[in-house]
Amino acid sequence: MKLLSENKAFGGTHLRYSHTSTTTNCEMTFAIFLPPFASKEKPVPVLYWLSGLTCNDQNFMQKAGAMKLASELGMAIVAPDTSPRGEGVPDDAEGAYDFGLGAGFYVDAIQAPWDEHYNMYSYITEELPPLIEGEFPVTKEKAISGHSMGGHGALIIGMRNPNKYVSVSAFSPIANPSDCPWGEKALGNYLGSDKASWKDYDASELMASQTHYIPMLVEQGTKDEFLQEQLKPQSLVHAAQRSETQLTLNMHEGYDHSYFFIASFIEEHLEFHAGHMGLI
């Protein structure tokens, strides 16, 4: 790993690293916040945060205002990049923001040329946690959260791996990517035209298929400009009703899709995860 930057924050430390990834076959970047007094003798649990379209490892760390409470709770936060990057990593031919670089959608691609690098699902679930647990004073106990595309990623990863995460939450998630323009474009290109293969990466499809016992919390603003066309939280609610899954969805009047919304409610999410980690 290569240390890119180090900053003191709220008594803890914010660090950025790059490393060579075997799952994405390129250099990847992640940020980690370590609370005060985290040590090999007193390791701390981890919240993984997955960001949305066009974002990288820094958006959440700089805009969400999460580090103060994480410091007080004794919780580490890891924020990976949202896609592979670098020379030789393919991008959308027209440079669109909703596919390619910055838009990995947390899937393992099976279509060329994307399958060589776009394996963000395996990167998040299989490669990054052992790296974090081996290099930093953290426990194996972890939760996962995210925003928009990252909210989609957090939900599918949490539901597909309930034994790996104690809780999952999301802000404004793409709840039914099989039935929205962003998701249809991404899943169609990364996975191909057979929509049966999309179901493993669709939170509403996963939730409808069986009861999920991992605690789930979702926030959504009513003034979100992407609410009706792209996000479709009602699909998640209907799926939870069909499978009798416990899901908490909080609708917030007047809030949009921005980090103003995330910053307004991030403390409730940190406390939600901290409760399942046994920190409070």
Residue 95 DSSP class: -
pLDDT of residue 250: 98
Q: Which of 51, 83, 148, 204 is catalytic?
A: 148
pLDDT along the chain (280 residues), means of 10: 98 98 98 97 98 98 98 98 96 95 98 98 98 98 98 98 97 98 98 96 95 92 98 96 93 98 98 97
| CATH code for residues 2-277 | 3.40.50.1820
Asked if 31 and 58 count as a contact pair (C-beta separation under 8 A), the reply is yes
Domain ranges of the chain: 2-277
Residues 6+ apart with CB under 8 A from 190: 105, 107, 109, 110, 111, 114, 118
**264 catalytic residue (yes or no):** no
Residue 277, phi then psi, degrees to nearest 5: -90, -10
Structure tokens at 209: 């298929």
Verify whether residue 91 is a known catalytic residue: no
200 is catalytic: no
Marked catalytic residue, from 57, 108, 202, 224: 224
The catalytic position among 14, 257, 269, 273 is 257
Question: What's residue 213's pLDDT?
Answer: 86
pLDDT at 212: 81
